[in-house]
Structure 1
């Protein structure tokens, strides 16, 4: 490690400017400077080079990616079913029995295929379940006949003579291990018990590593699985690395490996004797360079997200996982509701003032205005995404919310007025930690 306050030249400052803009200002100059201080000063150019290769994706990006993915799947389903219907046409050599079977199957097909069913990849609380938020609000989903199921036990089959189209959703496929294991151990037994033999599975994600695709294809029970997402290659791939040709790439890889050692270790407790493996370049050496607004995959280089060994990360994963004290959030929401009513200009919360529904709605609005992404809001409030959708619909019906991300003019006026009046009305009460707001003199380059 190096000492603080190293000089930084204009070239580095300009590069940091570019990086801050490309990362959509989620980190600033000071954070990057503090992160740099952990490396040897002579290696700052390498640190900035690898940081410049990082990709950050916010909520808008995910909405677009999942919407595009749903359209792609819809086309694939239609193309497959057209081809299947053509294959059901009788041929001159078909026996009368076979002709009758084909005719019956074709008639059933024309009555409509099974509804396309969407499931999170993994159990509740995993990243797949949070991705349903983006599916629910994807424009294409709203006009499709696709059906979302919140757990695998709700899989239904209306017609065993037609294919069941099952979409499993996750944010990112890194190694592919969790995907094929979930399909083999959780999905296959249910479909087998239901007697479903005609099934096509689509893995819908934002991005997937090429290694994950090979792993899933090799190990998954079903051989017709299709991965719908944008492919990515390892950061230090011999071909196509963002860090240039091999001599340049190897130098960056050795740098990341040196500082990544010990930052991410995984212990396999299923082995006869527990085995701990160090992954300095991400889980199973995935070498990912992806960060999301709601989390950081453990496949991404640990120098960006680990807190092990006192490391100071740019995107700590624990921040995304650490939930606020729900009791404190509820208490503060009660104060907000009381203030809105005292102001006397709004009737949003007059009925059943401190009901569970009102408190959750205020919690949602407060977290939304703090810039919290939808998938994290549900975690902080402690509700499922489907319960959160009910809250959003309630807010829209009361004309507080315009949609899932925007307040109406009246809703915004209420929020602004409470924010302005809050210190005076709540004088004498305990000030919540979140009420202490630091306003920098310069933000995103503006004064």
Structure 2
């Protein structure tokens, strides 16, 4: 709230109230519904080739939404009847079409999937430049093509219908926040007040774009990319079509839902550091052989000593986040890890006896977590000191440094 002048707080709360936050459960439910529509739209003998948009290769990073989308859809397909799931083939990238070029014929359906389509330009460029130009030889004989997305803006849908008339779109349309008819902020007079408020604070946000002539120019984001006027945030990212006052961290702005990797990475470092500190405390205080502390080093005198490994720290991070109810996407984003890394950590926890095979806490895992979590001290948090030093008479002072040493 401190981003805004006090007189605008009511308007800021009105905007926050209208944000559509899409949870992991809603993603599963929505994709399941869209896949049911897809099956109803095609022939029973057709093979379905699913290909994530916006990517040719996925090798690193947790922020790649197509990686998460593939994970969610695969989980849904695992629970489909065999006669449906056996018809589906995943293409991890567009070059995979080479392996199936004999199957990508008239009895096949190509489905490009995404989570959100804003202007439509990005997915159009992917289809036009990658699918039907770079790898045209694999996909040229298809006569049934679909775009499947959790949500699509009205403008994006109109653009794709114009540019790709032979492609079928399966998605849930969304109106712009400041549409003259059907705005979430009510009738036009009331809506304009909120629009002006968002524009006033959003004017400071922009991106650099390069036009066809190679000229670099500023592109305003005051009401979202290409004036999308969106109010949506997914549990793992916020599209730049959403109003920037919600996701941007430029100019010392504090976002509700950070979008950029550097914000996430910075948060990940702090969270790992805090978890490492807790493990170090556990090693000093309890002096027990914890399954969460696995490093062993042989000293010069022949004695074995334990130390904390990077994997130990990450595993405790995962345990803390799971205990706080974080979903898979949130854990990967918070720790800046890939889905593969998460699966490996769960396997590691299983081998240590901390997790069951499906990632739930065992009795040993719960006991160790509770022991280590009990070491969290309110005096360790800066907010405690900030709050209590406003009234020094009420605080039991514990110095953080003595003679210049921590």
> TM bucket by the smaller chain?
0.7 to 0.9
Q: How does 1:145-294 map to 2 (within 5 A)?
A: 145=86, 146-155=88-97, 156-157=99-100, 158-189=102-133, 191-194=135-138, 196-220=140-164, 223-268=165-210, 270-294=212-236
Q: How does 1:7-22 map to 2 (within 5 A)?
A: none
Hey, what does 1:104 align to over in structure 2?
none
Q: How does 1:288-367 map to 2 (within 5 A)?
A: 288-318=230-260, 321-324=263-266, 329=272, 336=279, 343-344=288-289, 361-367=315-321
Hey, what does 1:53 align to over in structure 2?
18
Hey, what does 2:37 align to over in structure 1?
72
Aligned partners of 1:205 and 1:355: how far apart in 2? 41
Cα separation, partners in 2 of 1:413 and 1:153, compared to 1, 3 Å:
farther
Aligned partners of 1:251 and 1:327: how far apart in 2? 39
TM-score for both structures, normalised by structure 2 = 0.72
Show structure 2 runs of 5+ residues with no match.
298-305, 388-406
Greater shift, 130-139 or 240-249, is seen at 130-139
Cα separation, partners in 2 of 1:131 and 1:396, compared to 1, 3 Å:
farther
What is the number of residues matched between the two proteins? Answer: 362
Cα separation, partners in 2 of 1:141 and 1:226, compared to 1, 3 Å:
farther
Hey, what does 1:431 align to over in structure 2?
none
* 1:410 alignment partner, one of 364, 377, 381: 364
Hey, what does 1:13 align to over in structure 2?
none
Cα separation, partners in 2 of 1:226 and 1:395, compared to 1, 3 Å:
farther
Check whether the contact 1:283–1:300 (CA below 8 A) recurs between aligned residues: yes
1:282 Cα deviation from its structure 2 partner: 0.5
Cα separation, partners in 2 of 1:339 and 1:46, compared to 1, 3 Å:
closer
What SS class does the counterpart of residue 407 from structure 1 fall into?
coil
Hey, what does 1:81 align to over in structure 2?
43
Check whether the contact 2:281–2:375 (CA below 8 A) recurs between aligned residues: no
Check whether the contact 1:131–1:170 (CA below 8 A) recurs between aligned residues: yes
1:244 Cα deviation from its structure 2 partner: 1.7
1:161 Cα deviation from its structure 2 partner: 4.4
Cα separation, partners in 2 of 1:439 and 1:327, compared to 1, 3 Å:
closer
Cα separation, partners in 2 of 1:273 and 1:380, compared to 1, 3 Å:
same
Aligned partners of 2:263 and 2:94: how far apart in 1? 24
Aligned partners of 2:275 and 2:6: how far apart in 1? 45
Aligned partners of 2:253 and 2:309: how far apart in 1? 43
CA shift digits 1:264-314 (9 cap, x unpaired): 344326543212121311100000011222222111112222233443433
Hey, what does 1:130 align to over in structure 2?
68
What SS class does the counterpart of residue 317 from structure 1 fall into?
coil
What SS class does the counterpart of residue 133 from structure 2 fall into?
helix
What SS class does the counterpart of residue 160 from structure 2 fall into?
helix
Cα separation, partners in 2 of 1:438 and 1:416, compared to 1, 3 Å:
farther
Check whether the contact 2:20–2:231 (CA below 8 A) recurs between aligned residues: yes
Aligned partners of 1:163 and 1:386: how far apart in 2? 33
Hey, what does 1:12 align to over in structure 2?
none
Aligned-pair Cα RMSD in Å: 4.1
What SS class does the counterpart of residue 267 from structure 1 fall into?
strand
Aligned partners of 2:16 and 2:270: how far apart in 1? 38
Aligned partners of 2:352 and 2:6: how far apart in 1? 57
What SS class does the counterpart of residue 126 from structure 2 fall into?
helix
Check whether the contact 2:49–2:91 (CA below 8 A) recurs between aligned residues: no
Hey, what does 2:302 align to over in structure 1?
none
Show structure 1 runs of 5+ residues with no match.
1-31, 83-108, 424-434, 442-447
TM-score for both structures, normalised by structure 1 = 0.66
Aligned partners of 1:390 and 1:71: how far apart in 2? 32
Aligned partners of 2:242 and 2:382: how far apart in 1? 32
1:213 Cα deviation from its structure 2 partner: 1.1
Greater shift, 124-133 or 140-149, is seen at 140-149
Check whether the contact 2:315–2:345 (CA below 8 A) recurs between aligned residues: yes
